[in-house]
Homo-oligomer: A and B are copies of this chain.
């Protein structure tokens, strides 16, 4: 559509583009928790055919960004405490394995270092969404630097929900960005030193802190996720 940018090979497929767009709207809280997403609604909103919308919904469901049972409308999930704990348990499992593997080589991934810088800039300028984005990028960089396609795929499987919680609850406002940055730095340092168990421990600590912030936000009355 429109003026046809030939360079940015964004999602070439229509379904991909649709998936990416909806995903972004969900994780940023633009489409709030509990909201229903019907196939026809998306099809008309984006002016695509219903099967296309259906395919996008199925992919979002597979990545945990939507819940849907047979014959029922897809809905943006509301993660309760147990589910958040489950999410972080799975996340810790993957990311501990990742930093342990990285420590063996002692190489700090360049992408992770770059993301680290991006977090600081975003925090300084109070760009909340960018900060979340850079945080996700940091952790993704660590996992993908391991070079295991399957580990990365498993990580991506839960990353959508991670992004969801961060974007929706905006728990990061509570965390002093410098705290996050120093925890990240400590992890990278352990990797560089080749100390696998310390790197894993620091990752576990970092994620435990993040989880605590999230759960606190949730139990406080301050979980103002209410849309209207």
Q: Which A residues contact B (CB, under 8 angstroms)? A: 12-13, 51, 55, 58, 62, 64, 70, 83, 86-87, 89-90, 93-94, 97, 101, 148-151, 153-154, 157-158, 161
Contact = CB atoms under 8 A, between A and B. Distances in A.
* This chain's copy number in the assembly: 2
B158 A70 contact: no
A150 B97 contact: no
B151 A89 contact: yes
Contacts of A55: 55, 58
B157 A90 contact: no
A83 B151 CA distance: 12
26 contacts: A12-B70, A13-B70, A51-B51, A55-B58, A83-B149, A86-B148, A86-B149, A86-B150, A87-B150, A89-B150, A89-B151, A90-B148, A90-B150, A90-B151, A90-B154, A93-B93, A93-B94, A93-B97, A94-B154, A150-B157, A150-B158, A150-B161, A153-B157, A154-B154, A154-B158, A157-B157
Given A86-B149, A86-B150, 20 more contacts: A12-B70, A13-B70, A64-B150, A83-B149, A86-B148, A86-B151, A89-B101, A89-B150, A89-B151, A90-B150, A90-B151, A93-B93, A93-B94, A94-B154, A150-B157, A150-B161, A153-B157, A154-B154, A154-B157, A157-B157
Contacts of A51: 51
Nearest to A100: B93
A151 B93 contact: yes
Nearest to A148: B86
Contacts of A70: 12-13
Contacts of A89: 101, 148, 150-151
A41 to B, nearest CB: 20
